Structure 1
Amino acid sequence: MNMNLSPIINTVAGKLQGKAENDCFNFKGIPYGESTGGVNRFKPPVPKAPWQGVLEAVNYGNSAPQGILKMGGANAAAKVDNAEVNGVIQAMLDLAGLSAIPVQFDEDCLYLNVFTSGTDNKKRPVMVWLHGGGFSVGSSASVAFDGSFLCKKEGVVVVTLNHRLGAAGFLNLGEFDEAFADAANAGMLDIVLALKWVQQHIAAFGGDPGNVTIFGQSGGGRKVSVLMAMPEAQGLFHKAIVQSGSAERIIPLAASKKVSQLVADKLGITKDNASKFQELPLYEIFKVVSEVEFPVNNFSSVVAPAVDGRNVLTDPFYPKAPADSANIPLLIGTDLNEMTTFLIGNPLWLNYSEEQARQHAARVVKVGDKAYSFYKQLLPDASPAYVLEAVLSDATYWYGSVVTAESKSKQQAAPVFMYRMDYQSSALGKCLKSPHGIEIPFVFGNTEFGEEILAKGPSRDRLTAVMSNAWANFARSGNPSSAQLQWPAYTTTDRKTMIFNDPIELVNDPEHERRMFWEANYF
């Protein structure tokens, strides 16, 4: 027997074999659904049909066709005339798993990967990772999401997966053809199918189907939030972690329909010839979507999960948390300086005049001008760039996480644990501070992969050990605490928040003044 191969696993769909590497068994490119192209495009996913023989699960499967990621009025992958800055942009994309990857992009994209330390019956906790990239880009095929560290250090089973993105996953076409009634949330239904696969098969990989945690960052965190409000997803997971990706509200049905109608008009498609949506090359539809969706909403993509009345019945966490997932413990948090990741590609970065920064804030935040004035008073020594960053970071990420945590806490059915990542990137003289995505390598234990962003040193190693253990402890028991880290639940009485830095500290109601501002101005 080849010692580099895993044991052969028997699943309902057929036999498969992965690799033995990094002291784990890694199974990559396991198909959980049929191709989403052709007659399956814009329809709910179809479970993978059984196969004959032994499937070699040693390479990542196809990734979903990609849209455009835009946040805060900025293209996340924008480049500037500065090689060092561009190198850091690329490193940040790598860190978040959003860079170019050595796989094909294809509508046959419903594949998942399993990392486990044993294919026995020990019933290890299962952690299912949902990648970021808004709902437009991203893939599980990234070394940033390699689960080997977690599976061998913490004894958990890690599952990562691909699903439909952009127009293929979220273009609301229900009014054009009843067959497309689920198109607005097709990508989310892909994830539900993957979670059903976990329930059916993960025991063969040494995992416990009765102890599944879903976790994700950025768009992945938003996917976790939406799943908590999807009736069909209930019972498929038992704990949830949202990293920089609250979704207290999602796309209104009217905005979702407006973009779809604009797309149809540009393509010359009506109810009478709706089958053209399945016949056109997918890239043509993606191209048209990119031309029409951002004028509808300059801030971020509108082609994303919507309250469609079928699969998602209400906004996930506003005005209250979903009753269906009331008993699901939640761990949620953000990075202190989220928006530096997106603003670094702006040629004005660090050179904003006050007027330019104020105009940027007003363009992408409903109360941006008012917020800029308030934050300028709070941060009198900050440059216009960092006042802008603080406004956008809090409006885009932090306060939504507060709303989610407080909505969940008020249910008094399951605990909520709140964190904030303050550890600063070493890149570019630390001008990024604590950017969007910086916690990912600490959680996965893959900090060596991001050394352009995270300098080597004992503080980095200590934080990796603590954070990866806390996430795994939460997956085990619904409580991230350990002998080294006493982490009490978040309540609206004291708002205890774990601040991850060197040193780590527990703070009551951090940024109280900012929270009170948004409490009065957010909705």
Structure 2
Amino acid sequence: MDAPVTVTAPAGTFRGLLDRSVLSWRGIRFAVAPTGDRRWRDPLPAPDAEGEVDATSEAVEDEDCLSLNVWAPADASESGRPVMVWLHGGAYTFGSSSQPLYDATSMVSTGGVIVVTVNYRLGALGFLDLSGALPDAGFDGNLALKDVLLALRWVQRNVAAFGGDPDRVTVFGESAGGGLVTTLLATPSARGLFHRAIAQSSPASSVYGTARAEKVARSFLGELGIDPDDAGAPAALQAAPVEAVVAAGKAVYAAVPTTDPGTLAFAPVVDGILLPEAPITALRAGRGIPVPLMIGTNKDEASLFSFMKSPLIPITGDRIDQMFADMAAENTGVELPTREQVLTAYEHVRHRAIGLGVARDIGFRLPTLWLAEGHSTVAPVWLYRFDHASPFLRLIGLGATHATELPYLWGNLVSGPKDLTFRLGGRRVAELISARMQARWTAFARGDAPSAPDAPAWPTFTADGDDARATLVIDRHDVVVSDLDGELRRAWGDNVLSFS
């Protein structure tokens, strides 16, 4: 039965709940997102609360969405616990920290950690860069990245009151959230705000420059019927209802990948100020913030996008060909692998599945390999691949697709009575995998090697030696494989490509 519990932090006094052995505080405001005629401005730190704040339910969906949730073990005998700050995925356009999947009860109760889940502004509200299309209008950029930085500062200031150690903060995320993690590693002002990082299925190369951002902004303004060259454009934009802004953002989100295969409409922008250079470039060269990193992908990342007929990942032959052409145009002066050389990595793949393989590798696996190579020169790196799929997911052809590791990590294996994941069995195996994943992730957050009971040790990623490029393969039984993707790496070459 839920019981109230109150904690007093520098930011205020918050009343949460005790459910079984876990405390939770939900919907705590950490920043204010300017709205209305102040929209597309930097977030402001939330003022310290006066009186007792009811933090027993998530914040409602709103343009000013900058809230976070905190979970902690009820056992107050230990303080200074490791802290894990979660950044959710959703193509930088969808999702929420309050999705039931991200209920941290299981992870907290088994791992003894503090978990914080964070909201940031999404889509056009969080990632639109208007500095090129409306250069004199005074709009700010990289808003969602700044939202996350403020959340991490809130954690530094307040988490000790919840039993956490501000000197042991791990930032972790999946998909777009993983992309924010790898972006934070290349953001100089993030130094000191976190001490370890976990990037799951990060689209690390899907971060673009200001020219691309201006193109997207002009498309967005066009959806709203606003001429950027009109003197009244800034005022017209500010006067647009939030519903129209969201609708225009969704239209651009759907349109951009159809003309530029393999790219996202909304993502962090390399502005030369907050983000000096592309994260994939910085980290590949060993210029990231030198904190230990756990990073990996799923075996069948692209199958979900194909199943959903999503435009985000190019699957068909003509769109793959266009992507190769776009890469050649973007990477002048770089010795690119030929199409024939690349396809040698897929000789054992069924012809119809080649597009899935190329899309998976260029969107997720290759950037992850390149990033692991570079970052391992400045900090310990652990590389994984999640290969497990329930019998039902294998039957319908999804396999270990994008985001399938999440229920295992969070210990929330079934989303409701209509969830078909274990319709054909496999629940007991899934519970064992979940226990190992939680043990490894929380051990890493404590500052230890990411080990699990009755499972093989996971060596760090190195470019040479007996365990060169060691990869933990997470499946029914974990195994460690050296240079798991060697064939892929050799076919694509070592040059980091731009996909903007």
Q: Smaller-chain TM-score range?
A: 0.7 to 0.9
Q: Is the alpha carbon distance of 1:140 and 1:382 closer, same or farther for their aligned partners in structure 2, counting shifts above 3 Å?
A: same
CA distance in 2, matches of 1:252, 1:367: 15
Quick check: 1:170–1:303 contact (8 Å CA) kept in 2? Answer: yes
Show the counterpart of 1:195: 152
Q: Does the CA contact (< 8 Å) of 1:225 and 1:248 recur in 2?
A: no
Identify the match of residue 288 of structure 1 among 248, 254, 257: 248
Q: 1:22 to 1:399 in 2, by over 3 A?
A: farther
| Paired residue type of 1:452 | L
Aligned to 1:404: 371
Match of 1:338 among 290, 301, 316: 301
Shift of residue 299 of structure 1? 2.6
The equivalences for 1:4-15 within 5 A come to 4-15=2-13
1:313-352 deviation digits (Å, cap 9, x = unpaired): 11113154476744200000000110111111239xxxxx
Ranges in structure 2 where 5+ consecutive residues have no aligned partner: 329-336
C-alpha change, 1:246 and 1:478, in structure 2 (3 Å) is farther
Contact 2:206 2:263 in 1 (8 A): no
C-alpha offsets along residues 351-374 of structure 1, whole Å, 9 cap, x if unaligned?
xxxxx9433432445589998866
**In structure 1, distance between residues paired with 2:29 and 2:81:** 22
Identity of aligned residues (%): 31
Partner of 2:34: 36
Instruction: Find the counterpart in structure 2 of residue 205 from structure 1.
Output: 162
The structure 1 residue matched to 2:473, chosen from 478, 499, 503, is 499
Residue of structure 2 equivalent to 1:278: 238
How far residue 303 of structure 1 moved from its aligned partner, in angstroms, is 2.2
Aligned to 1:275, the other structure's residue is in SS state: helix
In the alignment, residue 446 of structure 1 is paired with which amino acid? N
Question: Bigger CA drift: 121-130 or 213-222?
Answer: 121-130
- In structure 1, what residue type is equivalent to 2:44? V
Counterpart contact for 2:290–2:375, Cα < 8 Å: no
Kindly tell me: are residues 170 and 326 of structure 1, through their superposed partners in 2, closer, same or farther at Cα, counting changes over 3 Å? closer
Alignment counterpart, residue 64 of structure 2, candidates 96, 108, 112: 108
Q: Does structure 2 retain, via aligned residues, the 8 Å contact 1:224–1:242?
A: yes
Cα deviation, residue 53, structure 1: 2.4
Q: Which residue of 2 aligns with 1:453?
A: 421
Q: CA deviation at 1:182?
A: 2.9
What SS does the corresponding residue of 2:231 show, helix, strand or coil?
helix
Match of 1:362 among 305, 315, 321: 321
Does 2:264 correspond to 1:297?
Answer: no
- Aligned counterpart in structure 2 of residue 487 of structure 1, from 440, 449, 458: 458
Question: What's the CA shift for 1:253?
Answer: 1.4
SS of alignment partner, residue 70 of structure 2: strand
Change (3 A) 1:246 1:405: farther
Deviates more, 1:157-166 or 1:22-31: 22-31
Counterpart CA distance in 2 for 1:193 and 1:259 is 26
Shift of 1:397: 0.6
| SS of residue paired to 1:427 | helix
Structure 1: which amino acid aligns with 2:161? A
- Consecutive unaligned residues of structure 1, counting only runs of 5 or more, are 63-103, 348-355
Q: Does residue 426 in structure 1 map to residue 391 in structure 2?
A: yes
CA offsets 1:431-472 (integer angstroms, 9 cap, x no match) = 111101111111111113385224443321221111110000
Matched AA of 2:103: D
CA distance, structure 2, for counterparts of residue 111 and residue 123 of structure 1: 23
Whether contact under 8 Å (1:4, 1:19) holds in the other structure is yes
Amino acid paired to 1:111? S
Task: Give 1:14 shift.
Answer: 2.2
Is the 1:36–1:109 contact (alpha carbons within 8 Å) kept by the matching residues of 2? no
1:229-268 equivalences in 2 (<5 Å): 229-248=186-205, 250-265=207-222, 266-268=225-227
Would you say the 8 A contact 2:261–2:320 is kept in 1? no
Q: Report the counterpart of residue 332 of structure 2 in structure 1.
A: none
1:519 — aligned with what?
493
Q: Which residue, out of 29, 53, 61, partners 2:59? A: 61
User: Secondary structure of the equivalent of 2:261?
Assistant: coil
Q: How many angstroms apart in 2 are the aligned matches of 1:270 and 1:119?
A: 60
Counterpart contact for 1:329–1:478, Cα < 8 Å: no
Q: CA deviation at 1:507?
A: 0.3
Instruction: State the distance in 2 between where 1:294 and 1:400 align.
Output: 19
The counterpart of 1:387, out of the listed 351, 354, 379, is 354
Question: C-alpha separation between the residues in 2 aligned to 1:367 and 1:170?
Answer: 23
1:220 is matched with 177
Q: Deviations over 1:211-262 (max 9, x none)?
A: 0000001111000011111122111100000000141461121101122133
CA 178–61 in structure 1, closer or farther in 2 if over 3 Å, else same: farther
Quick one: distance in 1 between partners of 2:409 and 2:348?
33
Match of residue 416, structure 1, among 355, 375, 381? 381
TM-score, normalisation: structure 1: 0.83
Aligned CA distance change for structure 1 residues 376 and 314 (closer, same or farther; 3 Å): closer
3-state DSSP class of the match of 1:310? coil
Report the CA distance shift for 1:124/1:469 in structure 2 as closer, same or farther (over 3 A).
same
Task: Give the root-mean-square deviation of aligned CA atoms.
Answer: 2.8
Q: Is the Cα–Cα contact under 8 Å of residues 216 and 243 in structure 1 kept in the other structure?
A: yes
Cα distance in 1, alignment partners of residues 325 and 364 from structure 2: 15
Q: What residue identity is the alignment partner of 1:298?
A: P
